[in-house]
């Protein structure tokens, strides 16, 4: 949200800035855009610490700006998905401020998880749970009570056993649906319901996740939300952010009476490895098929190292692999989300100077984990020096500094190059719209040379990815048709290392 486009020159991306760049998204070929939180927030965690779920943070615009953005999105035939953040609020939310001013045991504290401490003087946390960002998941108040926060201390967890909490979020959901949004992405969708009694747990959980996530009770919440979504015409969609290591558990979120999509993180978690990526894809496809769905693929997001840096320590190799991974993901059955900047091959920025570091992961982990600031650097649009068109000329510096070296990666520069990463993405997304074979849910692995992963869709489309260190002859694939797109130049009928190719035989061909 804050890194896409700044309209007013304060260095922070905003709603009007997004509206000014909608034609870029139309030309890219996407169907919809998902906005990270734009609600009033102290920004202790990039806006995911929400102080008011029914308004717009004044640094990001106004409700009028939101309405104008929504109208402009719909005028262009796009759809708009907004974030719902139901697991926690900001510690500046009126509810939490009321809880802090109330006595232990007061009803106002029942909206959150307050507990007395353990030990004779209550100086020990109520249980051994750990924050997902590092450190204990409990903070003690001066009156002796402790409160739960699975993320930062500035994000107290809501108590979803409270009927008041459930009613409030049903109303928040209706508020944005009445505005006309086309759907919601549910943050930390696997976290809302806590185990009864809040017991101690061994770490990590058997599934690889923290054991207090993914409690079965969350599904009743989303079935109730499904009924609300379906009361609108046309029905709105709901997308789960539930980063579960077991795809079968993730698939439970998209059963027919719950959500429509659940982000699949398999291609973010997998290294550049043929067997590991093939297994990740196969398991995800199978798990989703069991509930009548197809996967929703992501290869990058605002919480992960940029894909153009993640797949190799060597920059040029990482970019080649990122381009190949993009074609792989866009050829798979299901939906795909593109994180802003991945379509122009943005790398992870170098470590920021300490004065720019604001991500709580770095501080709460005591520096043991890298922060996420470096994958959230503002978009470079044009020009040869920062802010690269992110903001009007003469504006304040962007909220995070852009590397000078990004001059070659700007949107304007890539629009001039037919071999650019942006050109590849635009063609790939266009082909996804026009190739009928890519609309179904089928996936069939096909024999390929050593080091090459290949699969077919619809009997006439083939995707091949060379994970090996040497180029391989294309002849084995050419019987399947002719290349229509590749992530690297295919010359002398060979597929280079770290490259992907799409091959198609026209359906009318015998």
Assess whether 62 and 99 both reside in one domain.
no
Cα–Cα distance for residue pair 376/271, rounded to 1 Å:
22
**Which DSSP state fits 88?**
B
> The domain that contains 126 carries what CATH number?
3.90.400.10
- This prediction has a pTM of 0.95
Assess whether 494 and 446 both reside in one domain.
yes
Answer yes or no: is 346 within a domain: yes
The closest alpha carbon to 332, from 241, 462, 489, 449, belongs to: 462
At residue 318, the pLDDT reads 98
> The domain that contains 467 carries what CATH number?
2.60.40.1180
Answer yes or no: is 361 within a domain: no
> Six-digit token pair at 246?
């077991």
Contact 55, 78 (CB under 8 A): no
- Residues ≥6 apart with Cβ < 8 Å to 169: 53, 84, 86
The catalytic site residues sit at: 187, 241
Instruction: Concatenate the DSSP letters of all residues of 326-371 into one string.
Output: HHHHHHSSSEEE--TTGGGTPPPPPPPPGGG---HHHHHTTTSS--
At residue 481, the pLDDT reads 84
Assess whether 73 and 107 both reside in one domain.
no
For residue 492, what are the domain limits?
441-504
Cα–Cα distance for residue pair 392/389, rounded to 1 Å:
6
Could you tell me which residues are beta bridge partners of residue 34?
Answer: 81
Residue 156, phi then psi, degrees to nearest 5: -65, 135
Assess whether 131 and 32 both reside in one domain.
no
Query: H or E segment at 185?
Result: strand 183-186
Assess whether 174 and 71 both reside in one domain.
yes
The count of domains in the chain is: 3
Q: Of the residues 329, 354, 379, which one is the last residue of a structural domain?
A: 354
Q: Of the residues 354, 378, 404, which one is the last residue of a structural domain?
A: 354
138-150: string of b/e by CB count within 10 Å (b at 16+)?
bbbeeeebbbbbb
Assess whether 100 and 215 both reside in one domain.
no
Look at strands 138-140 and 145-148 and give their pairing: antiparallel
The closest alpha carbon to 82, from 33, 149, 45, belongs to: 33
Report the Cα 414 to chain-centroid distance in Å: 24
Could you tell me which residues are beta bridge partners of residue 456?
Answer: 444, 462
Assess whether 214 and 254 both reside in one domain.
yes
At residue 6, the pLDDT reads 98
Supply angle C-alpha 99, 104, 110, rounded to 5: 55
Answer yes or no: is 392 within a domain: no
The closest alpha carbon to 401, from 378, 375, 370, belongs to: 378
Answer yes or no: is 84 within a domain: yes
Assess whether 212 and 259 both reside in one domain.
yes
Phi-psi map region of 394: left, alpha, beta (phi>0 left; psi -120 to 50 alpha): left
Assess whether 321 and 450 both reside in one domain.
no
Contact 347, 308 (CB under 8 A): yes
Assess whether 98 and 233 both reside in one domain.
no
Assess whether 240 and 201 both reside in one domain.
yes
Q: How many other C-beta atoms are found inside a 10 Å radius of the C-beta of residue 202?
A: 8
Q: Of the residues 354, 369, 401, which one is the last residue of a structural domain?
A: 354
> Six-digit token pair at 67?
């309405």
Answer yes or no: is 363 within a domain: no
Cα–Cα distance for residue pair 158/2, rounded to 1 Å:
26
Answer yes or no: is 385 within a domain: no
Strand arrangement, sheet containing 32-35: 32-35, 79-84, 183-186, 237-240, 261-264, 296-298, 335-337
Number of H helices, E strands in the chain: 15, 17
Answer yes or no: is 215 within a domain: yes
Phi-psi map region of 11: left, alpha, beta (phi>0 left; psi -120 to 50 alpha): left
> The domain that contains 59 carries what CATH number?
3.20.20.80
Answer yes or no: is 376 within a domain: no
* Tens-level pLDDT at each residue, the chain (510 residues): 999 999 999 999 999 999 999 999 999 999 999 999 999 999 999 999 999 999 999 999 999 999 999 999 999 999 999 999 999 999 999 999 999 999 999 999 999 999 999 998 999 999 999 999 988 999 999 999 999 999 999 999 999 999 999 999 999 999 999 999 999 999 999 999 999 999 998 876 656 678 889 999 999 999 999 999 999 999 999 999 999 999 999 999 999 999 999 999 999 999 999 999 999 999 999 999 999 999 999 999 999 999 999 999 999 999 999 999 999 999 999 999 999 999 999 999 999 998 999 999 888 887 778 889 999 999 999 999 999 999 998 889 999 999 999 999 999 999 999 999 999 999 999 999 999 999 989 999 999 999 999 999 998 999 999 999 999 998 877 776 899 999 999 887 899 999 999 999 876 644
Length of the chain, in residues: 510
Give strand ranges (E) for 371-498: 444-445, 452-457, 461-466, 472-473, 482-486, 494-495
Assess whether 51 and 122 both reside in one domain.
no
Give strand ranges (E) for 9-161: 32-35, 79-84, 114-116, 138-140, 145-148
The closest alpha carbon to 22, from 9, 38, 4, 36, belongs to: 4
């Amino acid at each position: 949200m804050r890194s896409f486009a700044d309209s007013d020159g304060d260095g922070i991306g905003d709603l009007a800035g997004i509206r000014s760049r909608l034609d870029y998204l139309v030309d890219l070929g996407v169907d919809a855009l998902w906005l990270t939180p734009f609600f009033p927030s102290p920004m202790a965690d990039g806006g995911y610490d929400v102080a008011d779920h029914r308004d717009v943070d004044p640094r990001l615009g106004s409700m009028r700006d939101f309405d104008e953005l929504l109208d402009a999105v719909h005028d262009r035939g796009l759809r708009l998905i907004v974030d719902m953040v139901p697991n926690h609020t900001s510690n500046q939310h009126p509810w939490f401020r009321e809880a802090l001013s109330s006595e232990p045991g007061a009803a106002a504290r029942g909206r959150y998880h307050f507990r007395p401490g353990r030990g004779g003087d209550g100086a020990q946390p109520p249980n051994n749970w750990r924050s997902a960002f590092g450190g204990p998941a409990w903070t003690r108040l001066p009156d002796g009570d402790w409160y739960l926060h699975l993320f930062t201390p500035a994000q107290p967890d809501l108590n979803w056993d409270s009927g008041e909490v459930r009613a409030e979020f049903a109303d928040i959901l209706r508020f944005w649906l009445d505005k006309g949004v086309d759907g919601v992405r549910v943050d930390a969708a696997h976290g809302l319901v806590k185990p009864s009694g809040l017991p101690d747990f061994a770490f990590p959980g058997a599934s690889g996740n923290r054991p207090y996530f993914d409690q079965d009770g969350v599904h009743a919440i989303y079935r109730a939300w499904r009924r609300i979504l379906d009361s609108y015409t046309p029905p709105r969609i709901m997308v789960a952010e539930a980063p579960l290591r077991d795809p079968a558990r993730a698939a439970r979120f998209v059963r027919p009476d719950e959500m429509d999509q659940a982000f699949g993180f398999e291609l973010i978690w997998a290294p550049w490895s043929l067997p590991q990526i093939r297994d990740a894809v196969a398991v995800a496809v199978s798990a989703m098929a069991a509930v009548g769905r197809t996967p929703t693929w992501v290869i990058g997001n605002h919480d992960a190292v940029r894909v153009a840096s993640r797949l190799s320590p060597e920059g040029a190799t990482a970019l080649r692999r990122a381009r190949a991974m993009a074609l792989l993901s866009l050829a798979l059955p299901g939906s795909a989300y593109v994180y802003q900047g991945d379509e122009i091959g943005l790398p992870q920025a170098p470590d920021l100077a300490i004065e720019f570091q604001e991500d709580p992961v770095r501080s709460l982990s005591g520096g043991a984990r890298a922060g996420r600031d470096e994958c959230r650097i503002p978009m470079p649009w044009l020009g040869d020096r920062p802010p690269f068109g992110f903001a009007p000329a003469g504006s304040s510096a962007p909220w995070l500094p852009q590397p000078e070296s990004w001059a070659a990666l700007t949107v304007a520069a890539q629009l001039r190059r037919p071999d650019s990463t942006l050109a590849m993405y635009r063609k790939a997304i266009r082909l996804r719209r026009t190739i009928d074979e890519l609309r179904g849910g089928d996936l069939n692995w096909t024999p390929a040379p050593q080091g090459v992963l290949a699969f077919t869709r619809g009997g006439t489309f083939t995707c091949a990815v060379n994970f090996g260190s040497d180029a391989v002859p294309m002849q084995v694939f050419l019987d399947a048709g002719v290349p229509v797109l590749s992530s690297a130049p295919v010359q002398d009928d060979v597929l280079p290392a770290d490259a992907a190719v799409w091959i198609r035989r026209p359906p009318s061909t015998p």
